[in-house]
Amino acid sequence: MCVVQNIPRIFLKNHGIANSTEVTLQLGRGSWNVRLDSYGRFTRGWYDFTRECRLNVGDVCELELIDKKKVVFKVNIVTWIE
């Protein structure tokens, strides 16, 4: 299980997407629609993303904004190894 994270509000504001309530996360050939609350926290869709990508506590999701108009982030997962 992965801890719910957020996109910093300053990042959203600086990139002109502060009013976005939905983003798309792309990983490989897969994509997930994830809702953002008013604080930039991932809500609906985040659990499906974490489950389907088999994220574990300690894994890091690096997000790269690749489409401002559609608010699409390319995801790179860095797996934590004991």
Whether residue 55 is predicted with pLDDT greater than 80 in this model: the reply is: yes
Residue with tokens 């999701």: 61
Q: State whether residue 49 is helix, strand or coil.
A: helix
Q: State whether residue 78 is helix, strand or coil.
A: strand
Number of domains in the chain: 1
- Name the residue range of residue 37's domain: 9-78
Beta strand pairing call for 22-27 and 30-35: antiparallel
8-50 pLDDT tens trace? 999 999 999 999 999 999 999 999 999 999 899 999 999 999 9
Beta pairing partners, 49: none
Confidence at residue 81, expressed as pLDDT on a 0 to 100 scale: 72
Q: Which pair of tokens denotes residue 33?
A: 């629609």
27 inside domain: yes
3 inside domain: no
CATH code for the domain of 56: 2.40.330.10
